[in-house]
């Protein structure tokens, strides 16, 4: 009797996981333009956002950090060195580590800078040599407020919505400087009318404490995504090894709507029969009905187990059945989904 009970419990659980799997398999896959259409136009620029819209992205990914005077600007790094001409504009304003922190400048000063294609912090060469020329320093640093106005403007003038997918970068470091990016973000989003789970927006963070605080203290109804990194990256005090476990995913499901794992945490390679080697993380996440949006899909930086971007997309969309991807090349993902409607 006991054995029968256990067996039927296992069967029920298996059916539940499969029903979630098929439900996700049939849902629309999201193309999230990573830092804009950053494969073509420098990351986190107005032009890159417009290009992402024109290429058909469903969501625009925006990393945000705060200036000294408390404005949210759209930038990936906490320092300005790799993507702006800060060294030319403010010689002598470096910090002790010979870097320029965003947090040491106010918004008026940031607006004097020009953004260029990402460079290597060590060599200053282009990080992605085949992309937009690094010499062209023709873009300004957008505030998040400006970027939201741009996206809402495009939605109105073209009649298609592109959602926002905003990452709070290093909230703990901001808090040490007496800045509260999470609260500032919620206030700005409320001002622009984003308040509900049905609104076209996600907030993402690597820091689980910040997401819990958004959900339980600020009581936001907006959808939240727990980004998953590796502990050795030292992105946050969050224990990613624990989060990836069964218990960890259960905990995540209590405050977040989904996860944003590193693509190598989802698929580790291809076996001898050509089948993708999918990690337990996927089953752990599906068990709790979490959305899965892995990062970052780049046509010019493929994992070694594939020989084309299409092959990579096929593994993730068709075999793993993820719900969306962060990509620098939104057009290629949009085309893939259009040409493979069953995925």
Separation of alpha carbons 30 and 35, rounded Å:
15
Site track for ligand G3P across 140-179, x = CB under 6 A: ---------------------------x------------
Nearer to ligand G3P, 34 or 71 (CB): 34
250 φψ region: left (φ > 0), alpha (ψ -120 to 50), beta (else): alpha
CB of 147 to ligand G3P, least distance (A): 15
Site track for ligand G3P across 23-42, x = CB under 6 A: -----------x--------
Residue 290 sits in the site that holds ligand G3P (CB under 6 A): no
Q: Please say if 116 is a catalytic residue.
A: no
3-state secondary structure of 79: strand
Contacts with 199 (C-beta within 8 Å, 6 or more apart), sequence order: 193, 222
Binding to ligand G3P, residues 295-334 (CB under 6 A): 295-296, 326
Angle formed by the axes of helices 144-158 and 181-191, nearest 10°: 30
CB of 188 to ligand G3P, least distance (A): 19
Q: Please say if 177 is a catalytic residue.
A: no
Task: Please name every residue paired with 19 in a beta bridge, in sequence order, or none if there are none.
Answer: none
Task: Please name every residue paired with 203 in a beta bridge, in sequence order, or none if there are none.
Answer: 166, 224
Find the catalytic residue in 24, 34, 44, 116: 34
Separation of alpha carbons 106 and 97, rounded Å:
20
The per-residue DSSP string of 130-155 comes to TSS-TT---BPPPBHHHHHHHHHHHH
Separation of alpha carbons 151 and 164, rounded Å:
8
CB of 22 to ligand G3P, least distance (A): 26
CB of 296 to ligand G3P, least distance (A): 6
Site track for ligand G3P across 64-103, x = CB under 6 A: ------------x---------------------------
Among 58, 63, 207, 331, binds ligand G3P (CB under 6 A): 63
Contacts with 135 (C-beta within 8 Å, 6 or more apart), sequence order: 116
Nearer to Ca ion, 77 or 167 (CB): 167
Residues that are catalytic = 34, 76
Q: Note the residues at the interface with ligand G3P (CB under 6 A).
A: 34, 61, 63, 76, 167, 204, 227, 260, 295-296, 326
């Amino acid at each position: 009797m006991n054995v029968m009970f256990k067996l039927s419990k296992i069967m029920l659980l298996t059916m539940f996981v499969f029903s979630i799997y098929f439900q996700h398999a049939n849902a629309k896959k999201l193309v999230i333009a990573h830092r804009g259409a950053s494969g073509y136009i420098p990351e986190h620029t107005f032009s890159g956002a417009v290009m992402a819209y024109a290429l058909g992205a469903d969501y625009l990914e925006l990393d945000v950090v705060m200036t000294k005077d408390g404005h949210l600007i759209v930038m990936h790094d906490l320092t300005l060195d790799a993507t702006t001409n800060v060294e030319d504009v403010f010689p002598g304003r470096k910090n002790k580590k010979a870097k320029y922190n965003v947090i040491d400048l106010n918004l008026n000063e940031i607006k004097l800078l020009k953004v260029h294609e990402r460079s290597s912090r060590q060599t200053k060469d282009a990080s992605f040599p085949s992309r937009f020329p690094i010499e062209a320093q023709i873009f300004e640093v957008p505030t998040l407020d400006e970027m939201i106005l741009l996206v809402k403007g495009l939605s109105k003038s073209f009649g298609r919505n592109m959602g926002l997918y905003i990452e709070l970068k290093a909230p703990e470091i901001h808090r040490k400087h007496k800045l509260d990016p999470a609260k500032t973000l919620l206030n700005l989003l409320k001002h622009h009318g984003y308040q509900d789970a049905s609104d076209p927006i996600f907030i993402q963070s690597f820091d689980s404490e910040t997401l819990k605080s958004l959900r339980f203290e600020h009581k936001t109804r907006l959808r939240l995504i727990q980004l998953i990194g590796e502990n050795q990256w030292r992105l946050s005090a969050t224990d990613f090894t624990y989060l990836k476990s069964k218990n960890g995913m259960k905990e995540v499901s209590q405050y977040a709507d989904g996860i944003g794992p590193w693509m190598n945490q989802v698929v580790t390679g291809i076996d001898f029969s050509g089948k993708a080697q999918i990690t337990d993380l996927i089953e752990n996440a599906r068990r709790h009905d979490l959305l899965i949006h892995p990062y970052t899909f780049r046509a010019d930086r493929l994992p070694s187990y594939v020989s084309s971007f299409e092959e990579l997309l096929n593994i993730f969309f068709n075999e793993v059945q993820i719900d969306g991807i962060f990509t620098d090349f939104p057009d290629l993902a949009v085309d893939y989904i259009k040409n493979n409607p069953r995925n």
